[in-house]
């Protein structure tokens, strides 16, 4: 069955949205292409007309999901210039931990992406760089540039780890789950309190 | 077929070792019980005689793998009392990043464990507490006790995140992969340099 250009574009977005949601919810290895096609209301064949492989779909779905989250962050920031601490407080919250399907795709798939192909790795790397750039830009310009970059990269990795760990222990030890989020926030607050001449 | 008590115990260990290795290598959702039985040289039925479900096997395999790693760390430490920085340097290394099958099970499965049942979550929480305790014990006693605990919990989460991210980007951006490890090491060195009266 031939579909119009508009319909094809619509189907493509439906597939990316379904894939992005399901991969976060059940893991990349926990979802088959048949599940994704079904969730998007399309056939297996329609999926392969858009994406030659599950890896190709995973790479695009990852970028699609992250772009959506980045747009939400930009909307939240509005005309303000949120501080580094505000970004950390926003990310390292029980709300973000409990938002699996629509939360950060890096935290949802961190330990799985190393097992996927180079295209998925590249999508993850682009998303990570975007997150690090947001954090770097939020740091006081009185901090030397190389230190800002280092702190931003460390905070981005620590945030992803904290959300993953916080989710991992949530079913058995809710207190530890909250403690992990709080400890990572406090650790970076301590660095900034010590490192910036204005603060502390 | 009846097997002797000794043989049954041996089979159990073979299953745990195979499961622990395969779960790290391919992910918990990426491996079926049939693969694990095969890898251990046993039948599907033999596996179910020891573990009632894949979740039960995953929880025990996780603890089994972590206990092995902890024994290696204790052997490495010997009679010394390694510093917090030595633990971080050892963990946040390209060698640890590249050791998937025998490396830290928390880093290998961080984002997957939140999707498993409470028994797997409890195994993860126990391993995390053991890692945090090691780090806490390595901190100078001049740091107040609550701050030691907070730093240790933050560092453990950040380490797990750094290894997962470093693996995720390795196939597409090797320089970023190394930078992440270095940035997290530097961030905690900065906290200690600022926080302990003897240092920095």
As averages over each run of 10 residues, the pLDDT of chain A (200 residues) reads 85 97 95 96 94 96 96 92 95 95 95 96 98 96 95 98 98 98 96 57
CA angle at residue B104 from B99 to B109, to 5 degrees? 100
Q: What is the DSSP letter of A143?
A: S
Q: What percent of chain B has pLDDT over 70?
A: 96
Q: What is the pLDDT of residue B198?
A: 43
Six token digits for residue B34: 């049939």
- Cβ(B151)–Cβ(B191) under 8 Å? yes
Q: What is the pLDDT of residue A9?
A: 94
pLDDT > 50? residue B11: yes
Measured between beta carbons, the chain A residues lying within 8 angstroms of B27 are 27, 29, 111-112, 115
Distance from CA of A109 to the nearest CA of B (A): 6
Of A111, A169, A194, the CB nearest to B111: A111
Cβ distance B124 to A169 less than 8 Å, yes or no, reads: yes
In tens, the pLDDT along B53-106 reads: 999 999 999 999 999 999 999 999 999 999 999 999 999 999 999 999 999 999
Measured between beta carbons, the chain A residues lying within 8 angstroms of B158 are 154, 157-158, 161-162, 184, 187
Give the homologous superfamily in CATH for domain B61-195. Tetracycline Repressor, domain 2 (1.10.357.10)
Give one DSSP letter per residue of B111-150, joined into a string: HHHTTS-HHHHHHHHHHHHHHHHHHHHHS-TTS-HHHHHH
Instruction: Please give the mean pLDDT across all residues of chain B.
Output: 93
| Residue A183: alpha-carbon gap to chain centroid | 20
Cβ distance A165 to B109 less than 8 Å, yes or no, reads: no
Q: What is the pLDDT of residue A1?
A: 59
Give the largest CA-CA distance in chain B. 66
- Cβ(A155)–Cβ(A88) under 8 Å? yes
For an interface test with A, the pick among B21, B114, B199 (most A C-beta atoms closer than 10 Å) comes out as: B114
The chain B residue lying nearest A150, using CA atoms, is B183
**Positive or negative torsion for Cα A82, B159, A123, A64:** negative
Measured between beta carbons, the chain B residues lying within 8 angstroms of A188 are 187
| ipTM confidence | 0.94
CA angle at residue A74 from A70 to A80, to 5 degrees? 150
Measured between beta carbons, the chain B residues lying within 8 angstroms of A63 are none
Residue A27, CA atoms < 13 Å, CB-side half-sphere: 22
Of A29, A160, A161, the CB nearest to B29: A29
- Residue B200: pLDDT band with limits 50, 70, 90: very low
Q: What is the mean pLDDT of residues B173-196?
A: 90
Phi-psi bin for A41: left (phi > 0), alpha (psi -120 to 50), beta? Answer: left
In tens, the pLDDT along B105-159 reads: 999 999 999 999 999 999 999 999 999 999 999 999 999 999 999 999 999 999 9
Distance from CA of B63 to the nearest CA of A (A): 14
CATH annotation of A60-195: 1.10.357.10
Phi-psi bin for B148: left (phi > 0), alpha (psi -120 to 50), beta? Answer: alpha
For the stretch A37-40, contacts whose Cβ atoms lie closer than 8 Å and that sit 24 or more positions apart, written own/partner, are A40/A11, A40/A14, A40/A15
Q: Which residues contact B150 (CB under 8 A, 6 or more apart)?
A: A182, A183, A186, A187
Of B122, B129, B172, the CB nearest to A125: B172
Q: Provide the terminal-to-terminal Cα distance of chain B, rounded to the nearest Å.
A: 66
Q: What is the pLDDT of residue A197?
A: 43
Q: What is the mean pLDDT of residues B184-191?
A: 94
Distance from CA of A157 to the nearest CA of B (A): 5
Of A115, A154, A182, the CB nearest to B187: A154
């Amino acid at each position: 069955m031939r579909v119009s250009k508009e319909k094809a574009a619509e189907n493509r977005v439906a597939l990316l949205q379904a894939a992005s949601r399901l991969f976060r919810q059940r893991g990349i290895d926990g979802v088959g292409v048949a599940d994704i096609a079904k969730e998007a209301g399309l056939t297996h064949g329609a999926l392969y007309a858009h994406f030659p492989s599950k890896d190709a779909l995973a790479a695009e779905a990852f970028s699609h999901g992250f772009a959506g989250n980045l747009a939400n962050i930009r909307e939240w920031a509005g005309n303000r210039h949120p501080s580094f601490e505000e970004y950390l407080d926003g990310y390292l919250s029980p709300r973000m931990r409990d938002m699996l399907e629509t939360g950060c795709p890096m935290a949802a798939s961190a330990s799985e992406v190393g097992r996927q192909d180079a295209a998925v790795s590249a999508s993850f790397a682009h998303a990570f760089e975007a997150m690090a750039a947001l954090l770097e830009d939020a740091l006081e310009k009185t901090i030397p540039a190389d230190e800002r970059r280092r702190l931003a990269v460390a905070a981005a990795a620590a945030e992803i780890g904290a959300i993953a760990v916080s989710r991992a222990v949530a079913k058995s030890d809710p207190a530890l789950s909250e403690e992990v989020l709080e400890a990572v926030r406090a650790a970076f607050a301590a660095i900034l309190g010590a490192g910036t001449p204005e603060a502390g």
